[in-house]
Structure 1
């Protein structure tokens, strides 16, 4: 997943990551880097940290690397997903999405 911190930064300038994110069955809660993120209905953030109230944007990564809307920011890629992400950029499906 593409994850970007929105709180405290101008549009699309917060730090970003390509990371493994685990979701609850309802997809209302995400678990990432030891944080619990709940779905939000805001404009700039679609999840918020339940402990700090910081807003985050979570979305699937893009092959063209245009993950942010208005900047050329490149996300930090977590080591445990690096190989899968590099294969995805070359055309392979994301893990778990091999059949669609």
Structure 2
């Protein structure tokens, strides 16, 4: 039996506003690819029925924008947002190396 497929994704909560909290983290994909699992939540595709969202949390109904992270780091649905995007510690090195093509930033 093969291990479930995982992928680093950008996850933005658009349930309260169009500039909600956002993070980069590792999701687990369902076999069908129609749902994602992250941090104890299951997200189902909206299939074009969402307004500025493409997934919803099956437990709460909250809407999310979930996509592959961009190489240039401009992942937010609305680029003019000054809100920070958190990066989960377990994907930090891989994100900077493989997606952004850089070393970890100096803090």
Q: Which bracket does the TM-score occupy, shorter chain normalised?
A: 0.7 to 0.9
**Could you tell me the TM-score, scaled by structure 2's length?**
0.77
Asked whether the 8 Å contact 1:6–1:45 carries over to 2, the reply is yes
**Could you tell me the TM-score, scaled by structure 1's length?**
0.82
1:86 aligns with 2:99: no
SS at match of 1:31: strand
- Give the corresponding residue for 1:97: none
Q: Distance in 1 between matches of 2:27 and 2:84?
A: 18
Q: Distance in 1 between matches of 2:51 and 2:33?
A: 18
Asked whether the 8 Å contact 1:4–1:56 carries over to 2, the reply is yes
- Give the corresponding residue for 1:52: 60
Asked whether the 8 Å contact 1:66–1:72 carries over to 2, the reply is no
- Give the corresponding residue for 1:43: 51
Q: Which has the larger radius of gyration?
A: 2
SS at match of 1:20: strand
- Unaligned 5+ segments in structure 1 are 92-100
Asked whether the 8 Å contact 2:65–2:77 carries over to 1, the reply is no
1:4 aligns with 2:12: yes
Q: Per the alignment, do residues 63 and 73 of structure 1 end up closer, same or farther by CA in structure 2, a change over 3 Å counting? A: farther
